[in-house]
Chains A and B, each alone.
Chain A
Amino acid sequence: MLDLFGVLFSTAFVIFVAFRAITLDRTMPWFPVPSAQAEPDAAQQPQPVRGGRIVPSWRERARQPPHQSTPWRRGRR
């Protein structure tokens, strides 16, 4: 009975942690940065252009819904 409890407790939490980590990792930014860098004056930032299109800055991409800013999805590009 105690063996069964050990198996159930351990596996249940492993699955819970994995599931919760996926959810949080999608929505939570990875690294904190100082405020001054987080909110620079947008007017001073040059707009990068690639192939005739304005490349959205990381800040703009951060405003996208979580599913679009998922790192492993974007990493495929």
Chain B
Amino acid sequence: MIRSIYLLLVYLSLVGLGCVAPFVFTLGYIWVDLFSPQSVAYIILSQIPCALIMGVAAFGSYITMDRRWPPRLTASCILMLMLAFWCTVTLLWAEVPDAAWAKWNWAFKTVLFSAFIPFVIRSRVQIEAFLLVYVFSLAGNLLPFGLKTMISGGGYGRDLGLVAGNSGLGEGGLLATAAVSMVPIALYAMNHSILLPKTQLTKLMLIGLSVVALFATIGTYERTGLVGILVLGVGYFIKSKRKILTACVGAVALLGLIYHTSSAWDQRMDTIKSYDQETSALTRLLVWQWTFNYSMSHPLGGGFENYRIDRIEYPDGAVVFGRAFHSLYFEMLGEQGWVGLTIYLSLIAVSALQLRRAKRYAKDIPELAWCADLADSLLLMLAILMICGAFIAVSYRGMNLYTFAVCTCLGEYVRRVQQAGRSTAPGLPWRGQAAGGIAALPAGGRRPGALSPSGRG
């Protein structure tokens, strides 16, 4: 009861702050989507459409109050709109219409909102606020899970987080992926945050959060989590300038992991090697084979939730029906056909290119050092999400689509700065924007000859 009232107060606070600054409605939407207060609260919030209210408020307040420095209509944004359009069109020939409509209802909104995010999140402060809200919203679920794992050990299929059941962050694979993917952002915030106080306590808190997130990953007993940790380790090894030290730290962490985990965890991870005999892994392979064959005969896809019609035959002759895709790529291929898969893969490629371009421009400018580091962190986050996504069906999950969106936000930020700097003679020093400091161009300010905000300012 008290928890429900407290969460209602938090929700109302975000609505109140949104009335002061419209971009907070977008932060509120992200919080509602990732923290899922409607699932955590017992009354009131569980009975009202929290996300719908925040979403409508975010759109409405942007259009009426905040249309300054809008981004270009980027490739990423166009691809998201195409995806929203295409997933609506495939409803026409959906194999399981009722289930398809139910999934379309939330997936469509998430895609559309992700396309909208770059319009609202434009400045450095807003980009960082978005990322921190992303991290802290996930932390609500990850902290209890990770801390319980540290105290008593985790377990496959155990409900240790705030959200129970096998949906949302209650699903182990999704929780493990979310936990690993937020680590690069938490570590980025440790070095470059202008919103969090610059104290040793903040650094300790963010390191602690990352460690707990890794424990939560291990505690799920998900093989996807192990893959995510490996990608994270490889990513930091490549990025590191002191590779021997990084390798030593990695080795120590690995030894700690082996020491801490139970034999049950080891046995579960060992099944990766015997994928052709282990039921879960074998089922995935057979489902993927079915999906590929289905897509050859139905290149335009079978609409949302079409896995419900699959028929999987095991080598021993046993037959099962309606096994889920367990891969975002095969989910996209089966549901949206080759068109949907192409759009999704293009989204990944465009996001990665935006980050590379942003990093290439920002790395030589001290004032934009944070952009270069953020591009690195987002690239690693993207790699974790997309590699882990090969084993869980999360194509339309917020954490994936919001990552595409924030890549666009960063890319557009750097492009605006780049465009502003083009007319300047090379070699001139850059002014302002030291860590947390002042930049020369005022918020929403206009400069003749530079970018003209096409809003109504």
Contacts and interface: CB of A to CB of B under 8 A. Distances in A.
Do chains A and B stick together as partners? yes
Contacts of A52: none
B211 to A, nearest CB: 14
A72 B3 CA distance: 33
B391 interface: no
Interface string A21-63: 1101110111111111111000001001000000000110110
Interface residues of A, number: 48
Given A31-B416, A33-B431, A69 B443 contact: yes
Nearest to B189: A17
A26 to B, nearest CB: 7
Contact of A62 (B66, B367, B445): B445
B129 A71 contact: no
Contacts of B421: 33-34, 37
A38 B123 contact: no
A69 to B, nearest CB: 6
Nearest to B3: A7
B371 to A, nearest CB: 10
Interface in B77-98: none
B44 to A, nearest CB: 15
Contacts of B122: 30
A20 B432 CA distance: 20
A45 B20 CA distance: 35
A18 B27 contact: yes
B457 interface: yes
A4 B13 CA distance: 19
B429 interface: yes
A34 B366 CA distance: 12
A65 interface: no
A29 B431 contact: no
Contacts of A26: 21, 443
A5 B143 contact: yes
Interface string B404-423: 00000000010011001101
Contacts of B456: 75-77
Interface in B130-152: 132-133, 136-137, 139-144, 147-148
Contacts of A45: 448
Interface string B352-386: 00000000000000011000000000000000000
Contacts of B298: none
B442 interface: yes
Interface string A1-24: 011111101110111011111101
Contact of B133 (A14, A61, A69, A73): A14
A29 B438 contact: yes
B439 A18 contact: no
A13 B132 CA distance: 8
A68 B129 CA distance: 22
Contacts of A70: 443
Contact of B123 (A31, A35, A58, A62): A31
Given A21-B125, A22-B20, A35 B3 contact: no
B447 A24 contact: no
A71 B7 contact: no
- Candidate in B14, B24, B144 with the most chain A CB atoms within 10 angstroms: B144
Given A4-B3, A32-B430, A34-B429, 7 more contacts: A7-B3, A25-B21, A30-B69, A30-B441, A31-B420, A39-B440, A75-B457
Identify the 4 closest CB pairs spanning chains A and B, nearest first.
Answer: A10-B140, A38-B440, A71-B444, A62-B442
Interface of A: 2-7, 9-11, 13-15, 17-22, 24-26, 28-39, 45, 48, 58-59, 61-62, 69-77
28 contacts: A11-B7, A11-B35, A17-B27, A17-B129, A17-B133, A20-B129, A22-B21, A25-B129, A29-B432, A29-B439, A30-B439, A30-B441, A30-B443, A30-B445, A32-B417, A33-B421, A33-B424, A37-B423, A38-B441, A58-B447, A59-B442, A69-B442, A69-B444, A71-B69, A72-B22, A72-B68, A74-B457, A76-B64
